Structure 1
Amino acid sequence: MIQTEKVLEFDRIKKMWSELALTEWAKEKIRDTSLCMSESELMAKQRETSEARELLEKNGNPPLVSLSGIRECVQTAVKGGCLSISQLEDVEKALVAVMRLKSYLSRSKQWEISLAYYEENLDYLDNLKEAIGQQIRNGRIDDNASKDLKSFRDEIERNERRMRERADAVIRANKESLSDSFSTLRNGHICIPVKKEYKYKIKGNVIDKSSTGSTVFIEPSSVGKYYEALQVLRVNEENEEHRILYSLSAMAADYGEILEQNISMIEKLDFIFSKGKLSLEYDGTEPKINTERYIRLEDGRHPLMALTECVPLQFEIGKSFDGVVITGPNTGGKTVAIKTVALNCMMAQCGLHVACKKAEICMNSNFLCDIGDGQNISENLSTFSAHMMNVLEILKRVNKDSLVIMDELGSGTDPTEGMGIAVAILEELQRSESLFLVTTHYPEVKQYADKKSRIKNAKMTFDKESLKPLYQLVIGEAGESCAFYIAGKMGMPEEMLKTAMKAAYGNDEIPEDLKQVVSKNHLENKRVCGIQKRKRRSRGAQKTQEFQLGDSVLVYPDKKIGIICRTANEKGVLRVQMADRKIWINHKRIKLYVAAEKLYPDDYDFSIIFDSVKNRKLRHQVDRGKTIEEEITIDD
């Protein structure tokens, strides 16, 4: 079912539907919605959807709320737990929502819509709502929630005021001993900031000190005597608050069963109204449900397509024929047509309205689909293999109450064999007595359908002048691929078209309405740029760029600068002096940067740069005619 929902895009319908619900229960029920197999139950579901839509149109959106966490609150209270202030406020908000929803449904009774009478199943528990509202306000227990609580809080306020007054009196009397002229609260005690050197001057308890240690925070003795009394009062206040919360929680527990009923009713109404909202989204209609294996759609649309993009579909199957074979050009809307039929039928059997002007829908035991190329790389299946695996699975599960749709029947293999397989599949579908819609390009399949009384050919219309599909389904006529018309209109010459027609049909006779067009067609050879081959030289003819001793060059790819210290040999390899070493490199990897003649005089002695001091001395001695026993080392 999940795979079929995805193929037919019912999963997208569910997503759109779920976004219109508020409660988690309704969203979960939408996700779990499946085909309804009871005729009476399905008719009741359709009636609910229609009434919800009618109420939405006449009375606007109902005041539904999400009820997040309310059921958990009620369960906690029933088990004897104490609800927090925020939880009790949530219960109160839920009861307010119940009251508003009850009022909404009560007003709706004037139109005598049965859905409005769900109002009688709601009880907003005025006693509980008022009790919570009176004792809890703005996120805290109200002072007037009880006499004792008021008394404790008043006494706490008086004590805190006296403590401040005593602290202020000490500050006024000891200004020169203090770091600041105001009291502060430290660890729950009212303290005054006293300079370290005067801490023994102020009677009281040291509660804290500053980070530098230069200031100590002292609770004066005149203040401290109130602290213990204040702590007792706060314990009493806390105990009284807990008593009030337990009392309200117990009251909620007493009404636990009614609260659960309210929650369940709101969730149910949320689900029902979400169906009405969805119907308004795509302007749906309640279909007539039958078990007579008959489907008729008048002005059918795909619910996920914009109204402006849809060409209304007229479709009928089940009375005089059980199967439809749809043919026509590619991009002509064949796949959209069969998906529109199947998707509307699936929606109807899930209790939703259909995207049609009028519709009669039969109940189906299952929906069996083979759409898309189905190629499965992970299982190493080709398009045809995947198709066949899916088709065989469909044939195992099909029965007389199934609705089957197959796209491009027998495609993905040799045309002759594919045609034979397509016919065999149609024979098997006929034998099952199911309702089926298939699309194909095989002319032999069209001829086969013509000979069968319970199968009808159908075509998607095509405008031969504009070469555009019209997306209209015509049952009772076989469609054409229109390939020759499209090729001729697009400029295929007459001779090529004759060759194509002879190969396809055994004769090269071109239809009259196409002759005038193709007779003017011819192929013009357009000039395109030719390939330019590089000039090849023999190895002996290759020349190296001549670099001179002392030339400054760039060494690629890093573009570092070096100096030629030995010119190229017969292989075009040079010696280059880099900043930190000498390297051998092919002449193709260097580029002249500055010529030696611009850097050095004509008689410049390059041995100053390239030779070691030792070698230069030995060469100097040789030049003066001296005999030397040491060898002059050449750096290679």
Structure 2
Amino acid sequence: MAFTEWAGVCAQLARHTESKAGRLAAQAMTPSCEAAEVRALQDTTREAQALLARDACCEMRSLSDLVDLYARASEQGRPLSARELVGVAQTIRLGDRAAEAFASSPRLSALVAREAEVVSVQTELADLIEASVGPYGQVLDTASELLGRLRSEIASQRVSLDAELSQLCQNGSLMLALVQHRPVEREGTPCLLVKQGELGRVPGPIVDRQPEGFYVHPDALAGSYNVLRDLLIAAEEEALRISDALSARAMGLRVDLERLAAGLIAADLHQAMARYGQDAEGVLVEASEDASLLLRGALHPILARQGECVPLDLELGSDSRLLMISGPNGGGKTAAMKTLGLTALLTQCGCPVPVQSGRLPVYRAFACVAEARSSVGAGVSTFQAHARDLAAALEGARPGALVLLDEIGVGTDPGEAAALAQAFLELLLERELRILATTHLGPLKRFAQEEPRCQNAAVSLDGEGRPTFALLLGQSGRSYALEVVRQAGLPDSLIQRAAELHRGEG
């Protein structure tokens, strides 16, 4: 549904989420096509709206997407890292806070519900992780007695090595070779900074090279460096052992933890929907039992934020399956179509929409055919591309789907285009689809006027030739092509000649 600017609306919603996982879920949001599920989603959002009204939403910033986290670790054949374990613990704690915050909200509470035994096991894991790993993913000295002792010895060895280096710096034969007459830290170990061209005076492994000189572990202290290196390796191995052991426990709880994370992501999304609705002054549109449609004061979600939107009023009975909108370019035909499409998509995600009131059927699928683009390199003309889009829409359509057709039949002879478009629309009507189409073609306006399952609507210009953007049901609209090109600055003589030719054709 790229034609409707669905991605832009999802991005608007994503800005109201609190976690990265929630943001990604909003950006990838897809509508439900089952009426019962749509109503359940709306009920969950209503609970979030009630929490928002009491300023009692659950804060979700510490939420990690454990489904993605576990998947990446499994794909790479590795245990969870210490930093990832912090995310596991934070998500478990968030589950506890969410259960408390949602206690009076049955549907939100169900998203984070866990059996008492599961809560106990997860809490124990969170306790172990927090006792062993710091908030930035560093394994703590207190994680084990051995790690604490090793790190204490490392600190002592650093002090000893620093003292030995300081003594070397006072050696008269070395002083001229040094940039600084004191030890310097490089890559976690004390070194000597040796001038360019003076390495012969201070032999030893080079740790790093910079414009100011070489960072060297002098051979004179090789034994002390080996002691330090051995301690560092032992400490790293112990920290890795602790992290791997915690990872094994977390992996054992993967199914329940993924379920908890998924529920928290859904809760973050519903709370975001409540905030979005508040920001957009939106309401939850009723999911109707039949195919009838009623919108009062509906706004295009993106244009409304830009302050450039005329409210849309639209009412169609359950017997009206096709609405044909005609009128001038720039008059609001496509905007009206997108407004209905976005309103339906948001509604079927359980999200409030910027509308005063409304009722929509739950569409079984969505399809659209918009302006097609030619591809010279691929040898595809504009009309060929349009025909392929029509075929794709036809293949994916099923009874109860909403199909949006913007300027159906463009790119070829108008007479043939109108015939093709009418045949296509008749086929869609036979398949019991709901269709919103725009056109400039007279035969299609007449078809919509005569076909009992269809209804015309028009957008128009005011007395000064400016678009009103209002949708007028029961009318077909003029294209006002000559008025539009006059405003665009084409010569009056050209426009007068075009008017003469048009009257001649009539």
TM-score, normalising length from structure 1?
A: 0.59
Return the match for 2:96 from 90, 93, 102: 102
Q: Which of structures 1 and 2 has the bigger CA Rg?
A: 1
Q: Deviations over 1:592-631 (max 9, x none)?
A: xxxxxxxxxxxxxxxxxxxxxxxxxxxxxxxxxxxxxxxx
Distance 2:482 2:235 in 1: 92
Identity %: 22
Supply the AA of the counterpart residue of 1:304: I
Does residue 253 in structure 1 map to residue 213 in structure 2? no
* 1:265, distance to aligned residue in structure 2 (A): 1.9
SS in 1 for 2:268: helix
Q: Deviations over 1:434-488 (max 9, x none)?
A: 2222222344443343333222221113212x21111111111222334577789
Return the match for 1:51 from 31, 44, 47: 47
How do residues 522-601 of structure 1 correspond to structure 2 at under 5 angstroms?
Answer: none
Does residue 211 in structure 1 map to residue 207 in structure 2? no
Verify the 8 A CA contact 1:70 1:91 in the aligned structure 2: no
Does residue 304 in structure 1 map to residue 292 in structure 2? no
Verify the 8 A CA contact 2:112 2:264 in the aligned structure 1: no
Distance 1:49 1:392 in 2: 37
Verify the 8 A CA contact 1:50 1:276 in the aligned structure 2: no
Find the counterpart in structure 1 of residue 257 from structure 2.
262
Change beyond 3 A, Cα 1:139–1:356? closer
Find the counterpart in structure 1 of residue 363 from structure 2.
364
Q: Deviations over 1:102-151 (max 9, x none)?
A: 325513435x3531454543849554444444455587655555556656
Change beyond 3 A, Cα 1:259–1:433? closer
Find the counterpart in structure 1 of residue 431 from structure 2.
432
Change beyond 3 A, Cα 1:442–1:265? same
Q: Deviations over 1:207-266 (max 9, x none)?
A: xx963449997869xx98xx69x94x9857865774575356435534544465334423
SS in 2 for 1:436: strand
Does residue 344 in structure 1 map to residue 338 in structure 2? no
Supply the AA of the counterpart residue of 1:345: A
Distance 1:423 1:429 in 2: 10
Q: Deviations over 1:375-412 (max 9, x none)?
A: 34345444444444544554565554232332334444
Find the counterpart in structure 1 of residue 292 from structure 2.
294
Find the counterpart in structure 2 of residue 447 from structure 1.
446
**Alignment gaps of 5+ in structure 1:** 193-208, 506-636
Change beyond 3 A, Cα 1:260–1:482? same
Q: Deviations over 1:49-104 (max 9, x none)?
A: 44345444533562333637897579979x99887xxx335424542453245325
Verify the 8 A CA contact 1:63 1:97 in the aligned structure 2: no
Verify the 8 A CA contact 1:70 1:94 in the aligned structure 2: no
Supply the AA of the counterpart residue of 1:268: G
Distance 1:343 1:335 in 2: 12
Verify the 8 A CA contact 2:67 2:261 in the aligned structure 1: no
Distance 1:73 1:487 in 2: 60
Supply the AA of the counterpart residue of 2:338: K
* 1:326, distance to aligned residue in structure 2 (A): 1.7
Supply the AA of the counterpart residue of 1:51: E
Find the counterpart in structure 2 of residue 549 from structure 1.
none
Distance 1:159 1:426 in 2: 83
Higher relative contact order (CA 8 A, sep 6+): 2
Find the counterpart in structure 1 of residue 474 from structure 2.
476
Verify the 8 A CA contact 1:283 1:355 in the aligned structure 2: yes
Find the counterpart in structure 1 of residue 85 from structure 2.
91
SS in 2 for 1:472: coil
Find the counterpart in structure 2 of residue 115 from structure 1.
108
More strand by share: 1
Verify the 8 A CA contact 2:48 2:57 in the aligned structure 1: no
Distance 2:473 2:420 in 1: 24
Distance 2:465 2:113 in 1: 62
Distance 1:395 1:166 in 2: 82
TM-score, normalising length from structure 2?
A: 0.71
SS in 2 for 1:304: helix
Change beyond 3 A, Cα 1:102–1:410? same
Return the match for 1:65 from 59, 62, 65: 62
* 1:352, distance to aligned residue in structure 2 (A): 4.0
SS in 1 for 2:467: strand
Verify the 8 A CA contact 1:407 1:440 in the aligned structure 2: yes
Verify the 8 A CA contact 1:109 1:117 in the aligned structure 2: no
Find the counterpart in structure 2 of residue 593 from structure 1.
none
SS in 2 for 1:314: strand
Find the counterpart in structure 2 of residue 633 from structure 1.
none
Verify the 8 A CA contact 1:293 1:362 in the aligned structure 2: yes
Does residue 313 in structure 1 map to residue 312 in structure 2? yes
Change beyond 3 A, Cα 1:337–1:142? closer
Find the counterpart in structure 1 of residue 3 from structure 2.
7
Change beyond 3 A, Cα 1:457–1:164? closer
Verify the 8 A CA contact 1:404 1:437 in the aligned structure 2: yes
Verify the 8 A CA contact 1:325 1:449 in the aligned structure 2: yes
Find the counterpart in structure 2 of residue 325 from structure 1.
324
SS in 1 for 2:456: strand
Find the counterpart in structure 2 of residue 556 from structure 1.
none
Q: Which moved more, 1:249-258 or 1:479-488?
A: 479-488
Distance 2:139 2:322 in 1: 71
SS in 2 for 1:468: coil
Q: Deviations over 1:489-541 (max 9, x none)?
A: 99969997984674254xxxxxxxxxxxxxxxxxxxxxxxxxxxxxxxxxxxx
- Size of the aligned set, in residue pairs, is 471
* 1:286, distance to aligned residue in structure 2 (A): 2.2
* 1:372, distance to aligned residue in structure 2 (A): 1.3
Distance 2:132 2:415 in 1: 84
Change beyond 3 A, Cα 1:359–1:212? same
More helix by share: 2
SS in 1 for 2:328: coil
Find the counterpart in structure 2 of residue 467 from structure 1.
465
Q: Deviations over 1:22-71 (max 9, x none)?
A: 77766666666545343323332333344345444533562333637897
Find the counterpart in structure 1 of residue 38 from structure 2.
42
Distance 2:33 2:15 in 1: 26
